A and B are shown apart, each in its own frame.
Chain A
Amino acid sequence: MLMVSLQLLAKFSDELESSGIEFKHVNGKSGKFYMPEIIGAGAAFFDYDNDGDMDLYLVQSGDLSGLNNNPNIPKDQLFRNDTKQVDKPLFTNVTEQAKLKSIGYGMGVATGDFNNDGYEDIFVANYKENQIFMNQGDGTFVVGNKALPKTDTNWSVGASVADYNKDGFLDIYVVNYVGYPILEHTKQCRASDSSLDYCAPRGYKHQSDYLYKNNGDGTFSNVSSQAGLKNVKSAGLGVVAADFNNDSFLDYYIANDGVDNHLWLNSTAGKFKENALLSGVAVNMSGEPEASMGVDAADFDNDGDIDLFMTHLNKQTNTLYVNNGKGWFSDLTMVKKLGSSSFTSTGFGTVWFDFDNDGLLDLFSANGSVAKIKSEIQLNDPYPFKQTNQIWKNVGDGVYLEISHQQGKSFLRKDVSRGAALADIDNDGDLDIVVTNNNSVPQILINKSKAYNNWIGVKLLNSKLNRIDIGAKAVVTSDTMQIQKRVRTDGSFASSRDNRLHFGLGQKTRAIDVKVKWSDGTETIYKQLELNKYHTLKRENI
């Protein structure tokens, strides 16, 4: 019986073909097996034209041998959301008219309104120099030439946009991977059939991350040193910001590849202290550091604190760290039934989302190997890294059940998936996902679950700051539970998500109150909001 009802609840369909999105990620496959080629790139959902729907930015990588300004190398693309019909996503490529000209070998993307002008801007993490595109509010962007220090040329993969120092301006935490000068590429790694393969990060120099403090004038200062981050080097791939220890300051959690993860706890002075080991989130329950790729942070058990979910290499399980409310985490992967189902996949992008609006956060993982897969080699696949993606349903008590096999062909497709960006593309109240695939076309996974559960969506606009209030929280109470969410764009892998808050409300039918705690600590209660629609909740400029 359970299986039948689940079949009715979950159904995703890849609508790329009719979506108007013509984009193929190019990793430059040089044949030399440069490590950046296998890491892949992400995607961002954001409403660049403030028309109420989520537009899509897709990061392109290109060719490592011609990193700068080669006109023949494909660039990042911006697609405007012109969807008119539910379940029928429609996008228009507006890259040229938006005057977006990316450079470099792209990896990740993060979005946020950096200059508080009411329009969301873009940060692109590249293999070398990163880029910022400032939204002019007229449908065009200009490159923030002086926005970032020119000397910062580490291999960046992803970023988190949040206001860590509460000065009203959005800062950027950039996660850097390893030191990998292409010209010094000599190390050769081999697959099971003795052919060349990509190497693991082991043996390459770890890098420290960048913390960019927003100066409020369109420029950023690298304050990694002052913040205490500079001397800690690692191989970071994922980053997410949240107040993990409930002290009202934003902390950062970094997913590192093959080494201990980091939890940077924020003290009031904007100084950070690395505390992952004693917080129980550095390594898994066996004390093993894992090859962490993607990460998401959310309150999956609706107990009011932020938990963590990480994706890992195959033969390691994904890991669920459950917060005890005070910033101490237990690895409850096994007891929540998330262990064995992830054993054979290499996960990257991951999102916690309530696909069936039952109020419980389900899970998605974009999978794809980083080393040649023997069975794929034996099938003579010229790109033998492909795996299927996975989805798990939260069946209550925070226990998960994998339901990928019930999703039909969109979850049977094997690819080298990397980024997973979440949004309600068609504004129909259920959440969709765009999956970026390395050296391939993306998947536009439209949620056609038809769960018949109710929902509410809120966009938290802080008029005082003149922007979406990243870091603000909203709490709703359904018939059975209290759900708290925070405004954010980070998490997953190299990707950026819909900044609206989406609450599944199950069978609740009456209008509800939404309590908002703005990022400056003030609270507003919005009474009797109608269900099954998006509301823009404004904090008045007091």
Chain B
Amino acid sequence: MKKISVLVMLVFSLNTFAKTNIKHPDLTTAKRAIKERQKELYGQLQAIEKNGSDYKKSEAFGKLGQFYHVHDYLEVAIQLYDEALELASKNSKWHYLKAMANKNLGKFEEVKVGLKQAWKHNSQYVPTMVHLGEIFFQEGNLEESFQAYQKVLEINPDTPVALVGIGKVLMQQGQVNSAIENYQKAIEVQPFATKINFLISQAYAANGNLEEAQKFSSRKGSVEAQVSDPLMTNLYEESRSVSYYNDKAVRAYMAKQYNNAEMLANKALKYDPQSPYPKVTLANLYLSSGRGDEAAKIIQGINAENEKDPNLKYSLGVIEEMLGNDSRAVYWYREVIKLNPEHKRASVTLSNAFMRLGSYDQAMIQLQKAKELDIENAHVLSRMASIHAYKNECSLATEKIYNAIKLQPRSFSFLLTLTKIAVHCPVEEQVVKDALNAARNMYQISQDTYVVETLAMIEAKSNNYKEAIDYQVQAIFQLLSIENSNQDSKKINELKQNLKLYKKNKYPQVLFKRNDIDMNPQSFPKLPVKL
């Protein structure tokens, strides 16, 4: 599977934040999804700051605060909530979230102030009083804790978390029976909050009623009385960006769960329909599931909005190649090179497309360019060697393939090409010997049909016809055992033809075909020993 990558580089500097007194955390080492969400939110803030309303600005500051809050950069989050509150001091949401950030920092005085403010501006949001009740309780201010929980019960007398809270206060005050009453009410409302059983058990034990205590002592499960807290839920939801879902989509795609990947990528697009990343994920998975046209459509869409991005055009070239449209591929690769003449991969893939179209001279020109861009690239050299061999320029072919092998002595692909050149061309004896050694070495490691077949050829070229026959028979049997296509039966016939030649003490004229030239070097194993 060829990988499509879209690199939309957004120039982004934290130093350009409008509020210079806020020291934004350096997230350079953070996960991509986090960095991107920071960029998104900062972008929104920048856009609104110039001419947005106070409300919108406040929301933008607050959202960025939420982002840092979730990722535990609490001091910065608090600063941003403060900015939000400066613009919208009556927004209980920011008071509440600021209090929650302070809670995580253990700054309980600030928590209390924040929660009281939040309650002042929204006295219906139950979690505010629940947290206030907890804080007072932790501080040992039982009366105030009791009152906070009472306020919750005034809104909804059946709130289990408040009933439990009051129960705990009563336990600390030694009013065990009243505590049990409250716990019992809570468990009636929330029968699966099994930890309340534990509290009842402890209360009975405190009363010396061990029998009842035993009855309630099972704490199986871990469901606790909880209160729905949409602000905090939303806080985490806020941090989930396009990247959050897209990364999940990519993981699903890598695991070949294409349906799941598609669902997640589409979910990512709901966050930001303009984001190119989930679109690329979709394109990839469409390609993998045989929906190349849809993939091309997606990338074309992105390309239309990013005219200057060579990588998108490169992706389009790859898609066209995979769809078998070599002429279209040539077009896109040329577009890539127009935008970036040093795009080495485009030169190489363009040469591949030319080869498939039979334009070997054009292919060689592109390879030459690629070589100039990266003189040490063994794959380019190997491809050049194949083209030379195809054009019967045998000494050039030999020179290039030896150069490639010098750079990567253990590459199966290069050694196979060397072997084929040795069979195909009238080469020096040493080249044949090297090729024979290489083929034998490869055989020790892999007995894939193409290796066995190549070994047979070079054995024949070395006048070892008996061995050539044995290997050829092996290759034929291997292919017969897995034959499942017309292509395989065609190949078997070809192998049988060569077998006949070996029996007559002859060896075949190797034809360099497009498939040989275009072999993907990455798919071959490496030799453990040098040639």
Contacts and interface: CB of A to CB of B under 8 A. Distances in A.
A17 interface: no
B172 A194 contact: no
Interface string A361-389: 00000000000001100100000000000
Interface stretch (A164-172, A217-225, A281-289): A281-289
A317 B134 CA distance: 13
Interface in A380-401: 399
Given A328-B205, A340-B139, A285 B168 contact: yes
Interface stretch (B51-59, B211-219, B308-316, B448-456): B211-219
Interface in A263-279: 277-279
Contact of A277 (B25, B195, B217): B217
B140 A335 contact: yes
Among B29, B31, B105, B205, the most chain A Cβ lie within 10 Å of the Cβ of B205
Interface string A163-196: 0000000000000000000000000000011110
Chain A contact surface mostly:
loop
B213 A340 contact: no
B29 A194 contact: yes
A67 interface: no
11 contacts: A280-B202, A286-B168, A315-B104, A330-B172, A334-B140, A334-B142, A336-B140, A337-B139, A339-B137, A340-B139, A378-B25
A307 to B, nearest CB: 15
Nearest to B145: A334
Interface in B221-239: 224
Contacts of A286: 168, 195, 199, 224
A436 B489 CA distance: 77
A334 B138 contact: yes
B140 A339 contact: yes
A361 B71 CA distance: 41
A194 B30 contact: yes
A186 B313 CA distance: 43
Interface of B: 25, 29-31, 71-73, 75, 104-106, 108, 135, 137-140, 142, 168, 171-173, 195, 198-199, 201-202, 205-206, 208, 210, 213-214, 217, 219, 224
Contacts of B104: 315
A335 B217 contact: no
B29 A193 contact: yes
A10 B12 CA distance: 53
B217 A328 contact: no
Contacts of A283: 198
Nearest to A328: B205
A192 B31 CA distance: 11
A339 B139 contact: yes
Interface in A284-332: 285-288, 315, 317, 324, 328, 330, 332
B214 A278 contact: yes
Given A328-B206, A343-B106, A192 B214 contact: no
Given A278-B201, A285-B171, A330-B206, 6 more contacts: A278-B205, A334-B137, A335-B142, A337-B140, A339-B139, A378-B25
A171 to B, nearest CB: 30
Contacts of B30: 193-194
Given A278-B210, A285-B202, A334 B172 contact: yes
A206 B34 CA distance: 36
Contacts of B139: 334, 337, 339-340
